[in-house]
Amino acid sequence: MARQEIILGTPPTGLGGDPPRVASQKINHMTQELYDNFSVMGTAASADLQTKNNDLAAGKVLVVGAAGWNGGAAIILEGKIDLNSLVTAGIYALNGTYSNGPPGTSATNCPPLYVRVTVHGQGVWTLQEVFGITGDTSAIRYQSSGEWAPWRVDYTSSNVVGSMSDGAIIERGDNASGSYVKFVDGTMMTWGLQTINATVLPGQAVSWDVGRQPMPFVGLPSHKVEMAHMSGANGTGDLIYTCIQTYATSGRPIFAGVNMGVLPRLSHPSFTYGTVVAESYFVYFQSVGRWK
């Protein structure tokens, strides 16, 4: 039914306006239409509206922007928050400390996060999505029947390479012993250069320091070693000869003689260049094994 205008007439007496009975009939007709449709409008017609964006009281009518939805501001949570207990639907901003956060966070490392919580059936299924406010954190997890699944990190160009403790899948580093690359599945590759000063006489040999690795292996890795035998100390002088040796899952040293990998008493004399004897060795190694 269209709205029925009550004619007020000419002020101040109301001359020409609707008589009281006609005006009352119009009011009755319009209010009757409201009551006839009250059941269609549901309880929202008589419930209280939310008063602020973090008003999450049961039975309130959701207003535009409440709980961070539909263009509203996120609900700011300060102080110590346990993400396992954050199970009410909404968009939150964590500006304090928190626990049970995504990989790379801890009690002493709590970067600010946005958390979007989606709920299906109270306490039955909950989805949490986190996004870094000032960083590149992005992860997701879900809860089913009270049990939280592990966080799954979203990888981008900014967090694929990093620290394993921060959830990266590749870690690369350098130190005085060489360089290394770790992979999240436990594989590790190392490489480096050692300089050995030694004069190898007939019946003697020299070995590289197989234990001097930039990162420790679990178990015995495989090695490929290239040696450059120099006439002077500290890798100086003439290059006398080079050799390449490969061996797998062995802790024995590799010798700088002709028969590589044998006992010193069985190794041949070092090569000579005229009357020059090798006095130092460049050892370039590549090792592959596991770090966990």
What's the CA gap between 102 and 104, in Å, rounded? Answer: 6
pLDDT tens, 191-244? 999 888 877 665 455 677 778 899 999 988 888 888 787 878 888 888 877 776
User: Quick one: pLDDT at residue 290?
Assistant: 95
Residue 3 to residue 26: CA distance in whole angstroms:
9
Quick: pLDDT tens for 180-190.
Answer: 999 999 999 99
In single-letter form, the type of residue at position 197 comes to N
The contacts of residue 22 (CB under 8 Å, 6+ apart) are: none
Spatial separation of the C-alpha atoms in residues 215 and 50, rounded to whole Å? 57
Question: Domain-by-domain residue ranges, the chain?
Answer: 1-45, 66-153, 169-290
Q: How far is CA 71 from CA 49, 63, 74, 91, in A?
A: 17, 11, 9, 11
Position 210 scores a pLDDT of 79
Question: Where is 39: in which H helix or E strand?
Answer: helix 38-41
The letter for the amino acid at 69 is W
Could you give the 3-state DSSP secondary structure of residue 128? strand
Are the C-beta atoms of residues 137 and 119 closer than 8 Å to each other?
no
* More confident site: 29 or 290: 290
Mean pLDDT for 164-187 is 92
Of 48-52, 66-70, 286-290, where does mean pLDDT reach its minimum? Answer: 66-70
pLDDT at position 159 over 90 = no
pTM above 0.85, yes or no: no
